[in-house]
Amino acid sequence: MRYDDFVPPTSRTGRRPVLAAVALAGVCLTVAGCGGGPLPGDPKGGTSRPPAPASPGTPSPRPSSPGTTGPSAASTSARPEPAARGPLTGRTVVIDPGHNPGNREHTREINRQVAIGNGRKECDTTGTATDAGYAEALFTLDVSRRLRTLLEEKGARVVLTQDDDRPFGPCVDERARIGNAAGADAVVSVHADGSATGNRGFHVILPAAVSEGGADTTKIVAPSRELGERIAGNFVRVTGSAPSNYIGGGTGLDTRDDLGGLNLSTVPKVFIECGNMRDPRDAALLTAASWRQKAALGIADGIGSYLKR
């Protein structure tokens, strides 16, 4: 089986779970490679975090974060042009680094309620952190920058919703609008979790069918699922991570209707929860630059597989 074309099945459609399908493909899954998912009952990781180290590769007064070398160090200015020719030439991908390193200094602004179609939610949250203080907002920026580099090398036009270039946010509704306005062929929101110790394994969050209050995901539910399945399969292949052991029933996939970034999107979009920052074994992966590069590659390969279908 060519893994580029592998679409992991899901239990929600009566197919075999990702874990079993990958095993059939001859891919070894290691417990040490697990990631994480969203904290149950929390729109994304909570509203408190310890002081954050600096955003990788971005001039800042904050102290530096662990292992910030390689593609993540790309400057927010003087961005190179995408490759003139490549398999993704002519495609637009929006990457949405979850949270913002400055959110913790703007709690009043990010606690403002915004409409998400079927209700209201906080504008944004601060995200979680490892017990040692490595912030989710820094992890998401690092992986997103690495992902941007990989996609641009394949010819894609890449837009980031934020690059540590604004004091806070953007709000979840604006994050959705950025992808919509770009006419993106795919949008991926990068996150990590703050769940309990022992909860491990990545998963991808898919949009549910929502049609109310200005939100209408009717046209993006199916393509978003395909995007999410391809990312999940390639994430397993590249990182060796297993699907979440506490979200998604072993499929590596979860469908939600309470996330404004998905509800308000009009283009295919998913979230990926790469690991649980509160689990020591996952934290060891998330703070390693070499693993973050694998995470970015797995996501990039999944996006590429989806866009080349």
Tell me which residues are annotated as active site.
273
Given its phi and psi angles, is residue 14 left (phi above 0), alpha (psi -120 to 50 degrees) or beta?
left
Q: Of 166, 150, 133, which is closest to residue 64 (Cα–Cα)?
A: 133
* CA atoms of 173 and 265, how far apart (whole Å): 9
Question: Does residue 54 contact residue 285 with C-beta atoms inside 8 Å?
Answer: no
* CA atoms of 89 and 230, how far apart (whole Å): 19
Is beta strand 253-256 parallel, antiparallel or unpaired with respect to 203-207? parallel
Q: Of 163, 167, 253, which is closest to residue 205 (Cα–Cα)?
A: 253
Q: Which two tokens stand for residue 296?
A: 């970015």
* CA atoms of 188 and 137, how far apart (whole Å): 15
E strand or H helix at 292: helix 289-307
Question: Does residue 292 contact residue 263 with C-beta atoms inside 8 Å?
Answer: no
User: Cis link prior to 170 (omega < 30° from 0)?
Assistant: yes
